[in-house]
Structure 1
Amino acid sequence: MSFKIYVGNLNYQTSEDSLRDAFEQYGEVESVKIITDRDSGYSKGFGFVEMAEQEAGEAVISALNQQQLDGRQIRVNQANERGSDRPRRNRSDSYRY
């Protein structure tokens, strides 16, 4: 079963390949996705890595959380699954009547 990891505070120049390289030291990486701005295409400074095994995921969290990657101290945690309990902002919320 795969183990999804959130990686925050990424350097905006960090590539998916360099992120994969950092995580592969701890086990098989199934996927890497750095989140980008829809309009500009620039990195938003966070992403997700999916490890093949939970043990490898836990090892990478212990090893890389609060460590330097490309000149930034990154945050590495288990990713929370999106659920219905997550508050969603309605566009009408931002308008005043």
Structure 2
Amino acid sequence: MNIYVGNIPYKCTEDDLGNLFAEYGDVVSVKIITDKFSGRSKGFGFVEMASDEAGTKAVEALDSYLFMERNLKVNVAHPREEK
């Protein structure tokens, strides 16, 4: 299951985010989106969980969760639409 995570603290690393989600199941990948010029986090990213069950648990537990002084916005990610 692919999960969208918004309002990520700028000081958060992909390892920090992966460790948070790992409490709910196996994490396949973590990607925090960065600005291509400055390399600074844009404040959102994606976490891929190994199973839908683990992903659902993580979404329910972590939506609005206070993490590094910010409330995360966590949803099931939808496929990108073609332009």
TM range (shorter): over 0.9
Task: Please give the root-mean-square deviation of Cα atoms over the aligned residues, in Å.
Answer: 0.7
Specify which of 74, 79, 82 is matched with residue 77 of structure 2: 79
Deviations 1:17-58 (A, max 9, x none): 000000000000000000000000000000000000000000
Task: Give the structure with higher Rg (CA).
Answer: 1
Q: Which runs of 5+ in 1 are unaligned?
A: 89-97
**Which of 67, 71, 75 is the aligned partner of 1:69?**
67
For residues 12-31 of structure 1, the aligned pairs below 5 Å read 12-31=10-29
Q: Which has the higher contact order (CA 8 A, sep 6+)?
A: 2
**Equivalent residue letter for 2:6:** G
Measured in 1, the distance between the counterparts of 2:45 and 2:67 equals: 13
TM-score between the two structures when normalised by the length of structure 2: 0.97
**Amino-acid identity (%):** 51
Instruction: Choose from 56, 59, 72 the match for 1:58.
Output: 56
Count how many residue pairs are aligned between Structure 1 and Structure 2.
83
Q: Which aligned segments of 4 or more residues in structure 1 are displaced greater than 6 angstroms?
A: none
- Deviation of 1:83 after TM superposition, in Å, equals 2.2
Residue of 33, 40, 43 corresponding to 1:42:
40
Q: Report the equivalent of 1:11.
A: 9
Residues in 2 aligned to 1:7 and 1:24: alpha-carbon distance in whole angstroms: 14
How big is the shift at 1:10?
Answer: 0.6
